[in-house]
Structure 1
Amino acid sequence: METMPNVQELMNNAVLALNENGILHQIVQKQIEKTLEHIINDVFGSFSEFSKTVEKAVQSALKINIDSLDLPGYNTLVIETVREKVDQLIHVQGIERLQQQLDEVLNGAKKEYSLQEIVDAIKGDATDYSDAPGEHMSLYIEYRPRTLTFIYMDSEPDVQKYRCNYGLVVNQDGTVHSVKIDGTELNKNQIMNGFHGSEKLLFQAYATKATLVGYQDEDEIDTSYDNEED
C-alpha cells in the first residue's frame, strides 16, 4: 500500500525550488511594487497621511509568517525591495506632483506686483470666512535703497515684526529676493501642497523674480480693514 504524500512537505519543497530559481524574488518584487503604486496614487497628495500609510504597508509586509518554509534572508529581501520601490515611486511621482503644482500656481504670474496688491490679498484671506481680526493688519517696512529691504506682514493687528506670518525681502533693483510664508522660508512641502490667495501672489512674485513696486513707505499702504456693512 502506497504511503500518502506529505502535503506540507510537498508545498515546502515547491516553494524552496521557486526560491532557488529566483522566481519567488520576482513574485515578491512585483506584488510589493503593485501595492506601493496603489498606495502612492491614493494618498500621495496628503502628506500628513502619506508616511503613515507607507509605514503600515511596510509593517504589513514584514509580518508575513513563513518561518516554516525556512527561507533564509526572506525578511531582508522584503525590506530591501520595499525600500527600493518606495524610493523610486516617491522620486518619480514626487517630481510629477511638484511639476503639476508649479504649473497651477504659476498660472497668471506677472512681471510686476505692488505691495498694496499683496496687502489687499492678505486682508482678503483674513475676511473670507470670518470677520476682520481688527481695525488694521500689521505691516513693517525696513526700506534700504542701497541694499536689501525687509517687509513683514500679518493679517492680525499689532503683531511684532519678527512674529509676522508673511515676509518679503526685496533687492536694491526692486526684484523679489526671498519670501516667507507661515513664518518660514519657502520649501518643497509647501509647494507640493499648493498655494492660494495671498500665498499664491507671494510665491509667484518670488518664483518669477518679479519686481515689487510701491513698497518704499509703509504710510502709503492701506492696511485698514473695511468693516462697513453693505
Structure 2
Amino acid sequence: MRDEDAFLFLIVGNINLRLNTIFFLLENGITDGVLPLQRTVFEMQIAFKAYSNSEKKEDFLQAYFSKKGFESSIKWEKVLNSDDSNLFSKEEREKLADFKNDYEKSIKERFTMSPYKIWYEIASDKSLKVLSDTFYNGIEYFSNYDELSNWVHPQRLEENLNATNLTQRLPDEYLNLLIGSLMWDIKNLVDDVAFIANHYKVSQSQPLFNYGKNIEEFSKKLGELAK
C-alpha cells in the first residue's frame, strides 16, 4: 500500500477512535470532555475531506510530518528556556535548535503558510474556516467546532458543573447539540468509508455492506434520542 493511501486509513481511523471514546464516556455516564472531543472529530473530518479531494497528496504528507517535528521542537524549546534550563547542555540546545530550524525550513521552502498553522491548512494553503466553508455550511462549523471551542479553552464552566453539589452536568440544549453532532459524525464516517471502498474498488464487499447497515441502525437510534 502506498503511503498516500495508508494516510487515508490513518485519518479515518482516528475519527473512528475519537468516536469510540465519546461513546464509551457517554455509556459510562461521563459527559465531561465529550464536546472537546467532538471538536477534534470535526478537525479530522476537515483533514480527510481536504486530503481526499487534493491532487497533491504528497504535500499533505510532507506538511504533516514536518509540522509534527516542528511542534515537538517548539515544546522542547519552551522547556529549555524555562527555569529548569540549567538541566540541559549547550550541545543539547544546539541540537534542538537545528531540529527546529530544519523542520521550519522544510515547511517554508515548500509552502506559503506559516509553520505555526495547522498541517492541513499548510498543505492546502487554506484556513480551517475556508476549508469548512468549502465542504460544509456555517451551521455545521458552528455546532461542531466554533461553539465547542468555548468548552476547550474553557469558557463554559458554569454549564459543565452543578455548583450546588459539584457534580458534572450537560444541559439539555448541549446534549441535543452533541447528539446532532454525533449523527453528523456518523454520516460523514460512512461517506469516508464509502470513499475508501470506491477508491480500492471494493464497494461490493459484504463486510462493508454489513458495516453500513449497522451504522444506519445506530444512527436511527441516535435520532430517537434527539426526539
TM-score interval, smaller chain: under 0.3
Higher helix share: 2
TM-score (structure 1 length as normaliser): 0.22
Q: Which has the higher contact order (CA 8 A, sep 6+)?
A: 2
Higher strand share: 1
